[in-house]
Amino acid sequence: MASQSFFDKLNTLISANMHGMVDRALEANSVKVMDEYIRQVERNLEELEESTANVGGTVRTLKRKYEDFVAQTEKLDRDIDTLIIKGKNDLAAAAQTELNGKQKMTQEYYKQWQTQEQQYQAMLNMRLKLEAKLTTVKQERQQVQALMELAVAKKQTLKAVKSLDDVVKLGDQDVNRIASSIRERIDQEDARLELATKSISDQVNEAVASSEIDLQLEERRRRLLGNS
């Protein structure tokens, strides 16, 4: 599984300030800063996809083992009832001991499965956000390049241009239109990212709450079956 430092790097890339990136590109009169960001995202996306696939495989394995243990414990529980009815108390006691062990293993696999499932979903969401950010940066790179070329074509110097605010002050209608378009799309991307982050947080909280309910119901089932 990928390290925490790797996830920290991904979060840094996802939260990169688009306005600041565009301003630095304009200040340097070059899109190199955006090209470097694109290369970093593409490299990390490859690693993220590999890690996500590995975690996804682990999730499936843990789920299958959990379901196998559930089936074993249910059968063993029925067998104990049969042994008690037939008066085979020694065998029933041995089976009960085995059942207790299997129930512990069942709960352990369930906890591991849920933990890995939450990690898997978080990685999938992170990949989606990073891909969306990459698409946006590529689009804005084209617009920034066009903006700089347009300014040069109209013989307007970019030496004094330090940010989108300075571009707007140049007063040319075409330049202002492109600069305003860049700013609006970046604001929309920031809003979508904020919404996606809140959505992911809600999903994780819901998953945790659901897991607690499942555990409570499982405990109730064991108690009721034991008293029947």
- Phi/psi of residue 154, nearest 5 degrees: -90, 10
Domains of the chain from N-terminus onward: 4-227 (1.10.287)
Calpha distance 181→173 (Å, rounded): 12
- Look up residue 43 and give its two tokens: 């490299």
Tokens of 179: 């600069």
Please report how many Cα atoms fall inside a 13 Å half-sphere around the Cα of residue 1, on the Cβ side.
Answer: 12
Contact 116, 138 (CB under 8 A): no
Contact 103, 222 (CB under 8 A): yes
First vs last C-alpha separation in the chain: 44
HSE-CB of 170 using CA atoms within 13 angstroms? 28
Task: Tell me the whole-structure pTM to 2 decimals.
Answer: 0.62
Q: With a cut of 50, list the residues of the chain below it in pLDDT.
A: 155-160, 200-201, 204, 208, 228
